[in-house]
A and B are shown apart, each in its own frame.
Chain A
Amino acid sequence: MKAENSTGDFERLAMPLFDSLYNFARWLARDESEAEDLVQEAFSKALRGFASFTPGTDFRAWIFRILRNTFLTSRTGLSSKMTESLEEGDEAVAVAVTWETPESLALASATREALQSALERLPVEYREVVLLCDVEEMKYREIAEVLAIPIGTVMSRVARARKLLRQLLADQGTRPASAGKPGQS
């Protein structure tokens, strides 16, 4: 009977997250059928590993982490090599990232399509953090759990990701004549 209950618990906890997980998978993989495979595999991994989930802890972070790890070991995930490119970048960011008026206006006035295309061009390690923070509205603590990194790194990565996004949008141009380089605001 205990096993039956735990499957019921799993269903109750996991199914409400289904759409969010799919949206996240689709943004990571940028491909419909690959996203479907990821979600299916993640759900089956999570169900099999559900015994190791501690009740009362953050289920959402737990299952997002499984989905993300599934992506990392997938073909697209492996080719994105996201784990290596980051280490130094994050350290340098803490001082460098700041909000400046022109860029922030570019983002605030961007169309939905422009935002989507900028998000797609964002390197996956930044894209994922924006999705977790802005779409799923996770706290830094929760994101740290999903990505298995320290909270301080989450904080700088979120800031860095938004900075890149603002630059992409500013370059993309609400100002037709200017062709600024990323890095200059």
Chain B
Amino acid sequence: MSCTEWHNRIDAYVDGELSPVEMAAFRAHAEKCAECAALALSATESKSAIRRAATRYSASPELRARVFASIKAGAQAEIAEVKPRRAGFADYFSGMWPRWALAVAALLLVAAGLFVAANRRQEAKSLAEFADLHVANLASANPVEVVSTDRHTVKPWFQGRIPFTFALPELQGSPFTLVGGRVAYFHQEPGAHLVFRYQRHLISVFIFRETSQLDLPVSSYQSQASSFTLRTWTQGGLRYVVIGDAGAGTIQQLMELVRSAQ
């Protein structure tokens, strides 16, 4: 293809819409042609400049609350039909249980709470370390070592760098984009640190081999400390941690995407 023909394809190139064959052909061409390479670069920069400039307006909290309330109101109207039966159950049980039984139940709950709290303190330390890792890596000069929005580039990059393999989710149709990844260390154990973008938030996904050193809650667990939301779970002998300053719903959504990809 001639330069002029490539100039016509630059939009498709920056939008990631070239076929893999065309992509390879363009890369080969750009290595020899300074003009095409420069145009592709400035087109790429323009695209992100437009994104930054046009991500301009955010809704007022009032509007968000109003819309949210109207969704809830829609839900309430639907729940109302089911509700009477539920209330019936509750009445039935509260009538049956004597007061002393309720008191014993309350004591058991307190004891269970203390037990959980003691465990949580140990866990909190590990969780805080993940928060540190998230902040420290993103603040470093090279937050990601492999820069790519393409999961097929990021995943193979980890080959030979970490002692396990994992799958990356398909992000099309989701509000997330992949920024890249790097190797992270936790208790001298190498693992994957993936960075995703949600609007202007960067969210980290850490993947490590599950070891006793991790000392994290066994199953899915959510914690909100110092404005970070963290979700963690184990799957196939690996420990996954999703952490970021985005809302809990967003973190949950990314967690489900990652989890269902495995």
A40 partner, pick from B15, B16, B66, B247, beta carbons under 8 A? B66
Task: Please give the distance in Å from B169's CB to the nearest CB on chain A.
Answer: 14
Interface size of B by Cβ–Cβ distance < 8 Å? 53
In the complex, chain B residues 40-61 whose Cβ is within 8 Å of any chain A Cβ = 42-43, 45-60
The interface bits of chain A over 123-154 (1 if a CB of B lies within 8 angstroms of the residue's CB, else 0) are: 00000001101110101101000000000000
- With A36-B63, A98-B8 as contacts: A115 and B53 at CB distance below 8 Å: yes
Q: Which residues of A contact B75 (CB under 8 A)?
A: 4, 7-8, 11
* Complex: A130 Cα to B57 Cα, angstroms: 16
In the complex, B237 has a CB within 8 A of chain A: no
Q: Which residues of A contact B70 (CB under 8 A)?
A: 40, 43-44, 47
Q: Which residues of B contact A135 (CB under 8 A)?
A: 50-51, 54-55
Q: Which residues of A contact B108 (CB under 8 A)?
A: none
CB <8 Å contact, A159 and B11 = yes
* Complex: A101 Cα to B51 Cα, angstroms: 21
Q: Which residues of A contact B177 (CB under 8 A)?
A: 137
* Complex: A98 Cα to B39 Cα, angstroms: 10
The interface bits of chain A over 5-25 (1 if a CB of B lies within 8 angstroms of the residue's CB, else 0) are: 001101110111111101100
Among the stretches A56-64, A71-79, A83-91, the one at the interface with B is A56-64
Task: Please give the distance in Å from A164's CB to the nearest CB on chain B.
Answer: 12
* Complex: A17 Cα to B247 Cα, angstroms: 12
In the complex, B88 has a CB within 8 A of chain A: no
CB <8 Å contact, A27 and B199 = no
In the complex, B98 has a CB within 8 A of chain A: no
Q: Which residues of A contact B10 (CB under 8 A)?
A: 99
Q: Which residues of A contact B67 (CB under 8 A)?
A: 18, 39-40, 43
CB <8 Å contact, B57 and A139 = no
* Complex: A133 Cα to B16 Cα, angstroms: 11
CB <8 Å contact, A40 and B63 = yes
CB <8 Å contact, A158 and B15 = yes
B39 partner, pick from A8, A101, A116, A165, beta carbons under 8 A? A101
- With A18-B67, A43-B67, A60-B173 as contacts: A108 and B49 at CB distance below 8 Å: yes
CB <8 Å contact, B78 and A7 = yes
Q: Which residues of A contact B145 (CB under 8 A)?
A: none
In the complex, B96 has a CB within 8 A of chain A: no
CB <8 Å contact, B49 and A140 = no
Q: Which residues of A contact B119 (CB under 8 A)?
A: none
B13 closest partner in A (C-beta): A99
CB <8 Å contact, B46 and A61 = no
In the complex, chain B residues 163-183 whose Cβ is within 8 Å of any chain A Cβ = 172-175, 177
In the complex, B68 has a CB within 8 A of chain A: yes
- With A101-B39, A140-B15, A162-B11 as contacts: A107 and B49 at CB distance below 8 Å: yes
| B contacts, CB < 8 Å to A | 4, 7-8, 10-12, 15-17, 35, 38-39, 42-43, 45-60, 63-64, 66-68, 70-71, 74-75, 78-79, 82, 172-175, 177, 198-199, 247, 249-250, 253
Other A-B pairs, 20, CB within 8 Å; known A20-B175, A140-B17? A1-B82, A7-B74, A10-B71, A20-B199, A23-B57, A26-B56, A40-B67, A40-B70, A58-B172, A98-B4, A99-B11, A99-B43, A101-B35, A101-B39, A108-B42, A108-B45, A115-B50, A135-B50, A139-B17, A140-B15
21 contacts between A and B (CB under 8 A): A7-B75, A11-B75, A15-B71, A15-B249, A16-B198, A16-B250, A18-B67, A19-B58, A23-B56, A39-B63, A40-B67, A40-B70, A104-B39, A119-B54, A134-B50, A135-B50, A139-B15, A155-B12, A159-B11, A162-B43, A162-B46
